[in-house]
Structure 1
Amino acid sequence: MKHEANVLLVEDDKEIARIVCDHLRSEGYGVTWASTGREGWEDYKLSPYDIVLVDLMLPEVDGFTLCRSIRKESDVPILILSARLEDESKIRGLDLGADDYVTKPFSLEELSARIASHLRRYLRYQNQQDTDRDIHYAHGLRIDFLSKRVRLHEELLQLTAKEWDLLCLMANNPFEIFSKSALYEHVWQQPEDGNGNNTVTVHIKSLRAKLQDDTRSSTFIQTVWGVGYRFIGEVL
């Protein structure tokens, strides 16, 4: 059966990864395997995926952090694969935005059924939402989240990758306040080490300049003094 869906598998156990990859590819899925949380995040940022399978106990960046980072940017289904049996771990994973939880060892048939079920729902949702991802805001801002293009008064803005990531994160979570540390850890995927706050400040300043957003009377990115930043763009 040809599924024609792209799966991102983030699993550090090579044998489990091999078995899952072979099985899903035999069913027609395109599968990308990442062996660490950081590698999984990098792969996720490079290509569009229809579903993400995440182990919780990962090197470099754990599965909980990866789930939280992905959910901040996308509604893609996230299926947790883990040997953990504790209810607390299940609840935490689901609270961070995962859609389902499969405890190891699991049957490949069960995994396929879970994937197919989530894909059906997600593809229906995507078909309904695609036309809503090119969003127009007051004061001339337009963000096309699918093509990753930003326009101001119909002029295409040349944003850097980090500027786009910052804008996308905040615009996808309007009015949510992000601290500089949270922005740095999400966009740069590194713990804040003392220099991260300055890095975020520089990129936010550059982004604001391109958006022609006056800090004294912000229309897009508002500074919440002593806390961080939030996106306040008004959807038309």
Structure 2
Amino acid sequence: MKGRLLLVEDDPEIARVVRDTLRRDGYYVTWSTSGLEGWQDFLQQSYDLALVDLMLPEMDGFELCQNIRWNSDVPILIVSARKEDEVKVKGLHLADDYLTKPFSLAELKARVESLLRRWRRYQGKPAQENKSEYAGGLTLYWERQKAERDGSEIPLTAKEFDLLKVLAQHPDQVFSKNELYRHVWQQADAEGLHTVTVHIKSLREKLGDPVKHPRFIQTVWGKGYRFIGEPT
């Protein structure tokens, strides 16, 4: 097997041709028919590359690429009929390559192979430290999904750690409640915004992080939340 690929495409004719071509070429291919399904599939197993259409139901390709990038450095190839320069530029800020429809299958295979070569070279580099430390005594262990404050473990739930992870791994970036709910709970539900509020409140209490004078999670009024912890 040459690699595991995630194909997110809602047009069944295009998807079947691409899937069958890549499978014949030796790849394992998972086909998702919507952005939300693609995000759920991405979280269920590891992939070497994602091919993402932009005009998808439930969650568009831009949001899916953003969710993948917040979670992983896996290469992303956008495959879209959108040809406007501003769309391509926006896409390339999130993905590694952009292929416009219609395309030749030979070019598609060449793009996939090129991205995989670069990804495998990148993976050959020494692994980064698997923990982060911040002023105020906070230490986050990414692989073990564990948090400590002044050497004592903080009893976070899985969702609380996931929230803290996406915030802390993208410091100073403001995340809306909707973005956090879609990313952590993998659902598109307006009622989920209250769920985010409740979990952020619980997370702050466990971190000992007051709303008025935060050291870790800051509320950006009218927009959402961001992580302001100072690395040590």
| TM-score, normalised by the number of residues in structure 1 | 0.83
Shift of residue 37, structure 1, vs aligned partner? 0.9
Structure 1, gaps ≥5 residues long: none
Alpha-carbon separation, structure 2, partners of 1:117 and 1:8: 16
Pick one of 175, 198, 205 that aligns with 1:202.
198
Q: Give % identity.
A: 56
CA–CA distance in 2 between the matches of 1:137 and 1:81? Answer: 40
Asked whether 1:28 is paired with 2:26, we answer yes
Q: Is the 8 A contact 1:73 1:168 kept in 2?
A: no
Q: Which residues in structure 2 correspond to 1:1-236 (within 5 Å)? A: 2-3=1-2, 5-95=3-93, 97-128=94-125, 130-145=127-142, 147=143, 149-153=145-149, 157-188=154-185, 193=190, 195-236=191-232
Unaligned 5+ residue runs, structure 2? none
Letter in 2 for 1:92: K
Equivalent position SS for 2:77: strand
Q: Which amino acid aligns with 1:61?
A: M
- Checking the alignment, whether the CA contact within 8 Å between 1:180 and 1:200 is kept in structure 2 is yes
Between the aligned partners of 1:178 and 1:17, the Cα distance in structure 2 is 32
**TM-score scaled to structure 2, two decimals?**
0.84
- Matched residue type, 2:122: Y
Q: Do the aligned partners of 2:147 and 2:156 also contact (CA within 8 Å) in 1?
A: no
Q: Relative to structure 1, is the Cα distance of residues 94 and 210 closer, same or farther in structure 2, using a 3 angstrom cutoff? A: same
State the 1:80 CA deviation. 0.9
- Taking the aligned partners of 1:67 and 1:191, their CA distance within structure 2 comes to 16
CA contact (8 A) 2:177 2:224 kept: yes
Q: Structure 1 counterpart of 2:113, which letter? A: A
SS at match of 1:142: strand
Q: Deviations over 1:151-209 (max 9, x none)?
A: 2045555544432332122112101222334433444455673x444222101012223
Distance 1:133 1:123, change over 3 A: farther
Cα RMSD for the two superposed structures:
2.6
Equivalent residue letter for 1:124: R
Question: Is residue 40–residue 186 contact of structure 2 (8 Å, CA) maintained in 1?
Answer: no
Distance 2:131 2:138 in 1: 11
